[in-house]
Structure 1
Amino acid sequence: MPVNLTAPNPQDVLPVPGVKLGIAMAGVRKANRRDLVVVTLAEGSHVAGVFTRNRFCAAPVQLCREHLAAKAGTRAMLINTGNANAGTGEDGRSRALSTCVALARHLGIAPEQVLPFSTGVIMETLPNDRIEAGLPAAIADLAADHWVQAAEAIMTTDTLPKAASRRVQIDGKTVTVTGIAKGAGMIRPNMATMLGFVATDAVIAPALMQHLVREAADDSFNRITIDGDTSTNDSFVLIATAQAGHAPITRLDSEAGALLRDAVIAVAQQLAQAIVRDGEGATKFITVQVDGGASEDECRQVAYAIAHSPLVKTAFYASDPNLGRILAAVGYAGIADLDQTGIELFLDDVHVATAGGRHPDYREEDGQRVMKQSEITVRVDLQRGDASAAVWTCDLSIDYVKINADYRS
């Protein structure tokens, strides 16, 4: 059951001029399921992406990197669920390329102008013939307002589609930012087993796109963890169609650049947090905030140690204030010169530990009161500097084991 997450209202998910989405049933893994998405982009659109750091990356990830590097100008994206096309060797690469060639033929563009994405079961042969047979239906379905339908079609173990939108005014012009994502398990920074697509009609210099997509990923999808696994297929893509009509943004530190940056990051963070809220078997949404670090990297290091710990996560599931597990995670996070007598630990408004030991006023019933909540903030003060960082995670439940034990069934 998702944690304080509801399905997006299609009326709140705003079309982005220059982007159309079409959905079809291709029978990739199961019959009568919408599992294929075609996205077309207006000529002159700019696209940048960041991808999994897993060295065993999927065939579509390899092709996306190559097609973006070719700078042919992306005009379409092809997304399938039900099959990850990972661990499939040269045959998987050939099949992914075949789908790009087929879509390019339908649209009258070059194969290098198509970016392929897959998600689903690893090490199974991609049924590219079914995908190619489903292309005409997906193309016939193309429409500017099919974002929510597309979000549904890319789901795997997700229980709800994930979509978000923002609008800002730049030079008197309305600029839209809309995104969708999928992900519920195999979630860890670098990135998550997620596909994320954010589009805007802003006019932005192509040279800024890679910096903006990386910054957005680092502030959103690279700050979530569900189970500590890094997927083979993670992809986050930023699209700018240049349809809004304002003066080109040439610096992100300008007023217009900051407005766009903040809107893109806000959409990415909403999608990233939705992934955690819909984490496999999740019953609680947990923010881990680490302050007082010597550097932001140090704070993230400690936050991830807490957020990845199965012992911490199962304690939260049980609402068991066994909070020494959090202190233990801080201790093994890898900061060699950490002074344990300077550590302060808070659970929401409850001061749990001070000077590295139990706070004299802490009562276990106060800790349990907070741990029974569906949303919880763990805050650690290292008292080593002025840096801070936050990550978002969830508890680890019995249902997580059940979902993943039966994943291929």
Structure 2
Amino acid sequence: MTVMPKGFRFAAIEANLKYSGRKDLSMLVSDTPASAAGVFTTNKFQAAPVLHCKAMLERSRKQSAFLVNAGSANACTGEEGMNNCREVLSLVAEATGVPADEILPASTGVIGLQFNMDKWRAAMPALAENLGKATPENVSEAIMTTDTRPKLVSTSVDLSGGEVRLLGMCKGAGMISPNMATLLAFVCCDADVDPQRWQEILEYCADNSFNRITIDGDTSTNDSFMGLANGVSGVKAESEEDLRTLCDVLLRLSQELAYMIVEDAEGGTKVARIEVRGARDEIDAELVARAIGCSPLVKTALFGCDANWGRIMCAAGYSGAEFDPQAVSLEVGGICIFKDGMPVPGDMDKLLEPVMNEVDIPITVTLGSGSGTASLLASDLTKEYVEINADYRS
């Protein structure tokens, strides 16, 4: 059962912006201006909504709504794309009564397409009429592109002043190797939180959830993770203990959503849980984890249920991390198959066969060079992934 934060309304409609026969335009609206936070893609080609949101959050940390469209990313669209983004917000404000400068926009879909503004104008009456009638489930479906299922998590937690509720949703199945957050993710919370502390919490949760996943090694032009905390519960999160509790709960929610993304990878059948230990530092640990998780050869071996552990060692070796190869060990599914620079004797194919046939496959590399650690969730690479992306614009 979905836990609903107080003071939020939702809208999700079929606007026919690109897709036919499905919802592709949605809003998440707070009844009162909320503490707003966001982290965004580091891709140099940042989409118009990303640039707009960053500018708005620099100007004011009080915002009221998210507006999300699927089908067109409004990225690499130049000044026309920026003008269209601003015009869309004006249209939505006029239709719904939510001030244009309190709406944070997000877009997902094909890069390089300009908005069809006639379709946007035509959709406004339906969007306004639907506001408050849609469910979070409707919105989580409307933000999908190649996702096979919506991704929605909600929970509640008791702070010293009472109960607060959090709801999070995201979309993403391909073009996922974020360096900030995931493709699109949104959190609604009814706690009363200082905007700066809310931003710090969101950044921490992004670093330890969405920034710890990869599907195909591509960092999107549109990656955005944003949150609104409106205080409608009447419960303040201001003590250090309350803030830590709120952060812990949001982290668990974010990690659950991040797992859903990797589990739903385009054509994906496996989730590799990569752990790197004993690195010189955390930077080296992450280099090794990402080299393994992004390796096409490791990913295709996972898809084929092939215990070809040499590909894992190869990726670690070219990662750029500094370590002594003779001190390295490797475990797959808890089974040690490589130790002190040498394979462990035994029929590893037979031992690992049941492990490789599971959906979740733990991979642990210990470098023996220090105390640095890193974790990463990675998908496999399948024939269906190639087919989906070969036909993406069709």
> Same-fold call, TM > 0.5?
yes
Q: Secondary structure at the match of 2:192?
A: coil
TM-score of the pair, normalised by structure 1: 0.93
Q: Is residue 333 of structure 1 aligned with residue 319 of structure 2?
A: yes
Q: Do residues 150 (structure 1) and 139 (structure 2) align?
A: yes
State the Cα distance separating 1:381 from its structure 2 match. Answer: 0.8
| Residue 51 (str. 1) matches residue 40 (str. 2) | yes
Does residue 196 of the first structure (1) align with residue 185 of the second (2)?
Answer: yes
SS of 2:6's partner is coil
**Among 236, 241, 264, the residue aligned to 1:255:** 241
Deviation at 1:56, TM superposition (A): 0.4
Select the residue among 50, 60, 63 that pairs with 2:52: 63
How far 1:100 sits from its partner (Å)? 0.6
Q: Is residue 245 of structure 1 aligned with residue 231 of structure 2?
A: no
Structure 2 residue aligned with 1:94? 83
- Equivalent pair of 1:24/1:138 in contact (CA under 8 Å): yes
Matches within 5 A, 1:168-187: 168-187=157-176
- Identify the residue that residue 404 of structure 1 maps to in structure 2: 389
In structure 2, C-alpha distance between the alignment counterparts of 1:40 and 1:57, rounded to whole Å: 24
Partners of 1:30 and 1:207 in 2: how far apart? 38
SS of the equivalent of 2:20 reads coil
In the alignment, structure 1 residue 357 sits paired with structure 2 residue 342:
yes
CA distance, structure 2, for counterparts of residue 32 and residue 127 of structure 1: 18
SS in 1 for 2:66: strand
TM-score (norm 2): 0.96
CA distance in 2, matches of 1:132, 1:195: 24
Q: Return 199-208 or 147-156, whichever deviates more.
A: 199-208
Alpha-carbon distance between aligned partners in 1 of 2:82 and 2:311, rounded to the nearest angstrom? 44
Q: Which moved more, 1:78-87 or 1:66-75?
A: 66-75
2:364 maps to 1:379: yes
Is residue 191–residue 230 contact of structure 1 (8 Å, CA) maintained in 2? no
Note if contact 1:303-1:389 (Cα within 8 Å) is conserved in structure 2: yes
Q: Percent same amino acid among aligned pairs?
A: 39
| SS of equivalent to 1:129 | helix
Matched, 1:369 2:358: no
Q: Pick from 69, 78, 84 the counterpart of residue 80 of structure 1.
A: 69
Q: Is the 8 A contact 2:7 2:190 kept in 1?
A: yes
Change (3 A) 1:269 1:145: farther
Is the CA contact 1:290–1:390 (under 8 Å) kept in the aligned structure 2? yes
Superimposed CA distance per residue, residues 39-58 of structure 1 (whole angstroms, 9 cap, x where no aligned partner): 21132411110011101011
Structure 2 equivalent of residue 394 of structure 1: 379
CA separation of 1:193 and 1:407: change in aligned 2, threshold 3 A: farther
Unmatched 5+ stretches in structure 2: none
Answer whether contact 1:285 1:374 (CA < 8 A) is retained: yes
Which residue is equivalent to 2:278? 292
- Are residues 1:232 and 2:221 paired? yes
RMSD: 1.5
Residue 202 of structure 2 aligns to a residue in which SS?
helix
Where does residue 13 of structure 1 map in the other structure? Answer: 2
Larger deviation, residues 152-161 vs 93-102: 93-102
> Which runs of 5 or more residues in structure 1 are unaligned?
1-11
Please state if 1:114 is matched with 2:103: yes
Give the aligned partner of residue 9 of structure 1. none
Cα deviations by residue, 1:325-350 (Å, 9 ceiling, x for unpaired): 100111111123x1001101000121
- For 2:153, which of 164, 170, 173 is the aligned residue? 164
Alpha-carbon distance, 1:360 to partner: 2.2
Q: What does residue 304 of structure 1 align with?
A: 290
- Deviation, structure 1 residue 172: 4.7
* Bigger mean CA deviation after superposition, 308-317 or 327-336: 327-336
What is the number of equivalent residue pairs in this alignment? 394
- Checking the alignment, whether the CA contact within 8 Å between 2:41 and 2:178 is kept in structure 1 is no
- Give 1:174 deviation, angstroms: 1.3
293, 317, 321: which one aligns with 2:307: 321
Instruction: Provide the C-alpha distance between the structure 1 equivalents of 2:37 and 2:133, rounded to a whole number of angstroms.
Output: 21
